Structure 1
Amino acid sequence: MKHISHMIAATLAGTMLAGTAYAQETITINIGSSHPVQNIWAYAMKNSFQPEVDRLLEEAGGNYKVEWVESYGGTLYRFTDTRAAVSDGIVDIGMVGTVWEGSAMPLQNVTYFTPFATSDHEMLIEIFDKLTAELPELRDSWEGENMVHLSSLITDSYDVYANFEINALSDMANRRINAPGTSANWLQQTGATPVDGALTTYYTDIQTGVSEGALSFASGILPTRVYEVAPNLTRVGIGAMYFGGIAANKDFFDSQPEEVQNAILEAGKATSLAHGAYVTEQANTAIEKMEAEGLVISELPEEEKRKWVESLPNVVGPWLEANGEAAQTVLKAYFAELRERGVTPLRDWDEGL
């Protein structure tokens, strides 16, 4: 009898130990964006970041499991509120479009003030992940907004989609082109008139004559079907742009166990790579599909492209003046990284710094 009671006690102890070994804490993470998951930026969060966090936590021993509460497609906030949504903790992790945050986060917009630098969006991700980690000017501007930068988001190269042919820079004269925000600078001295708008308005704008084309990128033009009303794509190589990042609310991040923090940070790095590859795939597929449906693609002659670049005023000047030494540091570091990778920007926007 005594032997049996010892066996029972041993079995119970083993069961309790096993229960302790496999105890798993559930962490709830609210994740969201102003854009639907079909969008190249939100896609990176849903299809790369989330599964990678899950995988890393499982690989680390399964001590923590994430319960994801998803709010994609603008269900909680609009594109104008992405910074505030993450900063204020409306979501724990979200897409932050620094392109819309020229006042609060101006340094992140350096690519929009230095057009014709590079069309290699995968390289751009690599550069900005590196610069955000190494430059206090960039890193601190995220932390100053109560956010932790996790992964860089970009666009593929901007070109001109229009309902007319462009064989020379002079063909742009007296044309109305959708070029919202900072991108309006890229049309200075071309003779074209910039018209405000967004990917969601370009189709109607061109169809109704408000504009005659748009400065945009292939992965954005295909899903909005803008090529139906702007069937001429002229490749001009304005370049890929750093759009913003995936970020965590700093209060939320700091409250997490180290194992969860590490998984979030590592998933961010993996998402950068996956996002770059996905955008490449989407941009190439978009061109193929649009061309099959009638898009006519041409290349602006090199001498005409040179005219465009050289005719631009010093569009980076006001940005540098407004943001002081920090902006100079970011610009010099960005162009140094480009040149280190063998890129020769069509204009030396950092000249004289």
Structure 2
Amino acid sequence: MSAPAVTLADDFNATVAAGHPAVFRWVKMIDEAFAPGIATALEGSGHSMTLDGQYGGAIAKVGEELETVEAGLAEIGICQSLFDPAKLAVQNVTYYTPFVSDDPRLVSELMDDLHGSDPRMTEAYTQNGVVYLGGPVGIDDYLLMTTFPVESLADLDGKKIAAPGPAINWLSGTGAVGVSGNLTTYYNELKAGVYDGVIVFASAALPGKLYEVAPNITRAGLGAQYAGALCANADWYDDLPQEVQAALNAGADAAKEWYLSALEGAVETSFKVMGENGATITDASDEMRAAWAAGMDNAAKSWAEGLDATGVPGTEVLALYMNAMRDAGATPLRDWDKE
């Protein structure tokens, strides 16, 4: 009579943390695709899940999402490797390997597959008390937007160019003066003349109206990137019924497809609208791209060896990623892992 009842079905609740507001595509995918994907996967199971989105720094600032999920203040979050490089080091491999692929779908799906197949990619999550769910945050091909026309690398000499995080390494060998910057300040700094240009991606350049202050757009194929993914608190996830765990992964898969499809449409629209609003869009010549890649420092090698020294398999992951990209059909301008 006093034996506990066995619960065969339940409604689970989860708080989802994101430092960015919901206007950003990688946050919007939570409500637009992740939640519906979970609901679809749970149909007929007797279980359900309700998500409470806490976005825009409500409980976690940008780069604090992993720690918030690890502490159990949120069950799920956007673990942003780009903004948490100390804890998610190997996840930043794409930012140290420019000129590999300009296809965000290829980069995102490959990184998602590597997380699912190679424990070296998920070790950092395990060490920090979270589980990788999926829903990779892909970034479209980075390009150069400047206040002056660019016809050759010589045009960059002495110019102040802002770039985010590791992307500042991409300016080595160009003669440009690299300045650390981010999307929140680009417009005003360009307008004030603090920068002569920025390294940015089209889907962010349009809503940021950067074409108004830097109307010269040079597509150099610097590369599409991987910036993070959905993660869950490990203790919470492990206590869930197996079918609910599977539903979370199914929801993340739905979010991935929604996100990439929306991104691809946004990139096409961005170039169209920026061109209609006076931007001059040019493709860098093969010679310019080859010279740019050849002149760069091999930051990937230094990054990987630095991780090796701390016990993190940086060199192994660098080779893993580059080999996987080549096997997938990418043609890197430099084989960063073989030098």
Work out the CA distance in 2 between the residues paired with 1:229 and 1:124. Answer: 30
Which of 249, 260, 278 is 2:244 aligned to? 260
Tell me which residue corresponds to 1:214.
198
Work out the CA distance in 1 between the residues paired with 2:113 and 2:307. Answer: 21
Larger radius of gyration, structure 1 or 2?
A: 1
Q: How far has the Cα of 1:269 moved from its partner?
A: 2.1
Q: How far has the Cα of 1:62 moved from its partner?
A: 4.7
Q: How far has the Cα of 1:24 moved from its partner?
A: 5.5
Tell me which residue corresponds to 2:42.
57
Residue 207 of structure 2 aligns to a residue whose secondary structure is helix
Tell me which residue corresponds to 1:178.
162
Question: What do residues 3-58 of structure 1 show as CA deviations (whole Å, max 9, x unaligned)?
Answer: xxxxxxxxxxxxxxxxxxxx952211111211122212112222111111111112
The answer to whether 1:326 aligns with 2:332 is no
The answer to whether 1:273 aligns with 2:260 is no
* Structure 1 residue runs without a partner (length 5+): 1-22
Question: Which stretch shifts more, 138-147 or 266-275?
Answer: 266-275
Return the letter of the residue paired with 2:333. L
Q: How far has the Cα of 1:80 moved from its partner?
A: 2.8
Question: Which stretch shifts more, 149-158 or 265-274?
Answer: 265-274
Work out the CA distance in 1 between the residues paired with 2:211 and 2:144. Answer: 11
1:37–1:46 contact (8 Å) kept in structure 2:
no
Work out the CA distance in 2 between the residues paired with 1:51 and 1:292. Answer: 36
Tell me which residue corresponds to 1:162.
146
Work out the CA distance in 1 between the residues paired with 2:170 and 2:84. Answer: 19
Return the letter of the residue paired with 1:334. Y
1:169–1:308 contact (8 Å) kept in structure 2:
yes
Tell me which residue corresponds to 2:328.
341
Which of 51, 68, 71 is 1:85 aligned to? 68
The answer to whether 1:30 aligns with 2:12 is no
Runs of 4+ in 1 over 6 A off after TM superposition: none
Q: How far has the Cα of 1:305 moved from its partner?
A: 1.1
Residue 132 of structure 2 aligns to a residue whose secondary structure is strand
Tell me which residue corresponds to 2:4.
none
Return the letter of the residue paired with 1:84. E
Return the letter of the residue paired with 2:52. V
Q: How far has the Cα of 1:307 moved from its partner?
A: 0.6
Which of 12, 17, 26 is 1:41 aligned to? 26
What TM-score do the two structures reach when normalised by structure 1?
Answer: 0.89
Work out the CA distance in 2 between the residues paired with 1:67 and 1:274. Answer: 20
Tell me which residue corresponds to 2:213.
229
Tell me which residue corresponds to 2:3.
none
Question: What do residues 161-207 of structure 1 show as CA deviations (whole Å, max 9, x unaligned)?
Answer: 11111110011111111112211100011111112221111001101
Q: How far has the Cα of 1:82 moved from its partner?
A: 2.1
Return the letter of the residue paired with 1:343. A
Q: How far has the Cα of 1:266 moved from its partner?
A: 1.6
The answer to whether 1:135 aligns with 2:115 is no
Work out the CA distance in 2 between the residues paired with 1:297 and 1:57. Answer: 46
**How much identity, in percent, do the aligned residues show?**
32
RMSD (Å), alpha carbons: 1.4
Return the letter of the residue paired with 1:305. R
Q: How far has the Cα of 1:92 moved from its partner?
A: 1.1
Work out the CA distance in 2 between the residues paired with 1:223 and 1:249. Answer: 33
What TM-score do the two structures reach when normalised by structure 2?
Answer: 0.93
Work out the CA distance in 2 between the residues paired with 1:267 and 1:73. Answer: 22
Question: What do residues 316-337 of structure 1 show as CA deviations (whole Å, max 9, x unaligned)?
Answer: 1211111127112211111111
Q: How far has the Cα of 1:88 moved from its partner?
A: 1.7
Return the letter of the residue paired with 1:326. P
Question: Which stretch shifts more, 212-221 or 34-43?
Answer: 34-43
> How does 1:2-41 map onto structure 2 within 5 Å?
25-41=10-26
Q: How far has the Cα of 1:264 moved from its partner?
A: 0.2
Work out the CA distance in 2 between the residues paired with 1:104 and 1:65. Answer: 32
Residue 241 of structure 1 aligns to a residue whose secondary structure is strand
Tell me which residue corresponds to 1:6.
none
Q: How far has the Cα of 1:132 moved from its partner?
A: 0.8
* Structure 2 residue runs without a partner (length 5+): 1-7
Larger helix proportion of the pair: 1
The answer to whether 1:197 aligns with 2:181 is yes
Q: How far has the Cα of 1:89 moved from its partner?
A: 2.0
